[in-house]
Structure 1
Amino acid sequence: MTSIGGAASSGMIDWNLAVATATRFVRPGPEVSRDEARAVVAELRKHAKASEEHVRGFTRLGEAGTHDTPVLVVDRPGWVRANVAGFRELLKPLLDKMQERRGSSPGGAVLGAVGGKVTGVEVGMLLSFMSSRVLGQYETFAPASRDLPGGEEGGGRLLLVAPNIVHVERELEVDPHDFRLWVCLHEETHRTQFTAVPWLRDHLQGEIQSFLGETEMDPMTVLERIREAAQSLAGGRPEGERDEDGGRSLVELVQTPAQREILGRLTAVMSLLEGHADFVMDGVGPSVVPSVAEIREKFQQRRAKGASRLDLALRRLLGLDAKLRQYRDGERFVRAVVEEVGMDGFNRVWTSPNTLPTKAEIAAPGDWIARVHRTPES
């Protein structure tokens, strides 16, 4: 197995062990023949290419042919490896800070080595769970590697998880060709957002790093939250036992007052990005995806109810229920603004960080319009 970052494996999280654990426990994908698998991969690549023109035409963002980010059709272990690389990059400042704090305590080095392996296993368990649920992802922060190429300007790649797409299209009993294009339209919108708006990646990364930099929680407490999530996944929590924290998510548990402000801004921008992708998918869909109405209805029902009680519990712990609200609230914001000021008027949202909506404006689109579109006289 290729090493993920060499010496970093001996730190707070053994990333190599996380990859090995996730790969070992990842659920098998749907049964497909070798020829069918090749056909799915080829079709997803074709749809990803076609989606670029559809999305750019509808959103009026960027110019065709300007992408420098690759499209990678991956299996579940491939998704795990890509996300471990991204997590390592994004979490490095926080983990270095936690490692330094632990290293200054008696026996810290020994505890760190042991704890890193334990946490590596637990992170791997969480990734194995997540790897069967993600259909596609525009990976913004991960560094490029030989196995996982990225954009020339410092990261960025579009991942399409083929076995998950096939699994969901079969589960929903929808037209597979339409569903594959529909998924590509959503993910291509995210790629267009980041490639057409050059400052967006650095802004988002800066906000996340600021959030993590404010974390003052004891390292063992943070790791314990990861452990709780892994135990829930493995069925280790007795039936009916309630969390003492009331079921709050991992994100909510590490907040300081400064983090709450940053998290509000992050929530707003993520709501914008996800809602915009849903809006574009619905806007483009009717002209290129014949069964889009059926797909949308069935997918919304699946998204809302989750697969099981365990799935719902983990979504809450990991903060994924908040992501579902982001799709809904963000889409309403985008739709309301476009109806009021048109697509070009909406696209003023991408002018600078100052024109991004606040969390309050996501819920009140008229306030964003009044702030961004006000005339000098007003």
Structure 2
Amino acid sequence: MNIFRSVRAVAGAEGDGDGTGSIDWAAVADAAKNATDPGPLDLTAEERDGYAADVRDARRRLREVGEVEFEVPATIEVQNRHHWIDANIRTFERVMRPVEMRGQVPLPGLTRVVNTGTMAFMLSFLGKNVLGQYDPLLLAEPPIEGEEAEHGLYFVHPNIVRVADMLDVDYPRFRRWIAFHEVSHAAEFGAAPWLSDHLERRMEDGLEGLAEGQFDRDAFKDLDTAMTAVEGYAELLMDRAFDDDYEDLREKLDEKRKSGGPVGTLVRRLLGLGLKRRQYERGAAFFEAVADERGVAAASAVWDGPENLPTDEELDNPWMWISRVDP
């Protein structure tokens, strides 16, 4: 980790070839990685087999419990923190491209430095804390004809080991729990081929408005509602499918998040991680109510089509959704 190099990378941020880009993505990657210890990735054969078995068993259990058909992504990577930063640079660059291409950039030199520093700080913070990730490749370039988009499934090994040690929980059991959560997201997108397109359209609407200096409240509200369903269903499916006790894992992880100190708490609020937690809790309460009343398979009907997504009002009144979708 080299903070001086990180600061130097941000200070020297440049734009695209014509000097107009509002974020220097090469400098973001350089600064974020210089501010982040990559962490060890010296996996034993037992650990490699463990990750593979966790993913394989999660797929089998989630199929059985949710009564959904899906495949895990072809790309499954056990990463260090720098690997995760590199993978997500590509994601954020895709997401921000509409704003960069169409947005008006006052004081372009200063704007590039500020934006580059902000993105580098965000990716460095997340790179030190993310445990696993399912990447549905939103806003990615269409695959070549005859090929399928290769969604990704990532596990940040140094963070999983560190957090298991901090929480004083069994590392293989904790690793397995994380695998079940991320494979739950793969189950959603695999069971709902339309979901990526649906989220992309709402993201594009919202980003287009931002690029024009406007805030499309409806687009972002729809996106929040859809993501609440995504996060909530994953929580339900993971909890019902996980083949071991997990309450202590959840309680200890929640306690860790709450006790992150004033700086960590502020950063999490700025990055919207509090919103993500609200999505988990609100979505999980909705799907727990549906599953308790009609079963997990009935809850899985949410992925039959975009018309089955709960509305914002239905998220707080599951019976409205049940009577509309499964009368």
Counterpart of 1:72?
A: 77
Counterpart of 2:94?
A: 89
Asked if 1:314 corresponds to 2:251, the answer is no
Counterpart of 2:10?
A: none
CA–CA distance in structure 2, aligned partners of residues 352 and 35 of structure 1: 41
Report how far residue 157 of structure 1 moved: 0.5
Report how far residue 302 of structure 1 moved: 2.5
Counterpart of 1:272?
A: 229
TM-score, normalization: structure 1? Answer: 0.75
CA–CA distance in structure 2, aligned partners of residues 68 and 48 of structure 1: 10
Find the partner of 2:25 among 7, 10, 15.
15
Contact 1:9/1:15 (8 A) holds in 2: no
CA–CA distance in structure 1, aligned partners of residues 73 and 16 of structure 2: 28
| Aligned CA distance change for structure 1 residues 163 and 206 (closer, same or farther; 3 Å) | same
Residue 51 of structure 1 aligns with an amino acid whose one-letter code is A
Find the partner of 1:283 among 234, 240, 251.
240
Secondary structure at the aligned position of 1:12 is classed as: coil
| Aligned CA distance change for structure 1 residues 115 and 191 (closer, same or farther; 3 Å) | same
Residue 324 of structure 1 aligns with an amino acid whose one-letter code is R
**Mind listing any 5+ residue stretches in structure 2 that lack a counterpart?**
1-14, 142-146
Find the partner of 1:56 among 52, 55, 63.
63
Find the partner of 2:182 among 172, 187, 196.
187
CA–CA distance in structure 2, aligned partners of residues 342 and 9 of structure 1: 56
Asked if 1:301 corresponds to 2:301, the answer is no
Secondary structure at the aligned position of 2:282 is classed as: helix
Counterpart of 1:160?
A: 155
Report how far residue 280 of structure 1 moved: 1.6
Counterpart of 1:225?
A: none
Report how far residue 60 of structure 1 moved: 1.1
- Where does 1:362-373 land on structure 2 (aligned, <5 Å)? 362-373=315-326
- Where does 1:142-157 land on structure 2 (aligned, <5 Å)? 143=140, 152-157=147-152
Residue 94 of structure 2 aligns with an amino acid whose one-letter code is E
CA–CA distance in structure 2, aligned partners of residues 34 and 114 of structure 1: 41
Contact 2:199/2:223 (8 A) holds in 1: yes
- Where does 1:119-138 land on structure 2 (aligned, <5 Å)? 119-138=115-134
Q: Deviations over 1:94-121 (max 9, x none)?
A: 21111xx33xxxxx6xx43553244223
The number of residues matched between the two structures is 308
Residue 119 of structure 1 aligns with an amino acid whose one-letter code is N
Contact 2:235/2:284 (8 A) holds in 1: yes
CA–CA distance in structure 1, aligned partners of residues 264 and 91 of structure 2: 24
Asked if 1:116 corresponds to 2:117, the answer is no
Contact 1:203/1:353 (8 A) holds in 2: yes
Contact 1:27/1:128 (8 A) holds in 2: no
Secondary structure at the aligned position of 2:77 is classed as: strand
CA–CA distance in structure 2, aligned partners of residues 365 and 318 of structure 1: 29
| Aligned CA distance change for structure 1 residues 323 and 313 (closer, same or farther; 3 Å) | same
Counterpart of 2:294?
A: 341
Contact 2:36/2:127 (8 A) holds in 1: yes
Q: Deviations over 1:265-295 (max 9, x none)?
A: 111111111111111221122xx22x42322
| Aligned CA distance change for structure 1 residues 262 and 33 (closer, same or farther; 3 Å) | closer
Secondary structure at the aligned position of 1:44 is classed as: helix
CA–CA distance in structure 2, aligned partners of residues 189 and 7 of structure 1: 41
Residue 204 of structure 2 aligns with an amino acid whose one-letter code is Q
| Aligned CA distance change for structure 1 residues 262 and 306 (closer, same or farther; 3 Å) | farther
CA–CA distance in structure 2, aligned partners of residues 190 and 349 of structure 1: 14
Secondary structure at the aligned position of 2:210 is classed as: coil
Secondary structure at the aligned position of 1:215 is classed as: helix
| Aligned CA distance change for structure 1 residues 175 and 364 (closer, same or farther; 3 Å) | same
Residue 27 of structure 2 aligns with an amino acid whose one-letter code is L
Q: Deviations over 1:13-68 (max 9, x none)?
A: 10010000000001454xx68455x64444223312221111111111115xx445
Contact 1:186/1:278 (8 A) holds in 2: yes
Report how far residue 184 of structure 1 moved: 0.2
Contact 2:290/2:322 (8 A) holds in 1: yes
Find the partner of 2:305 among 352, 355, 378.
352
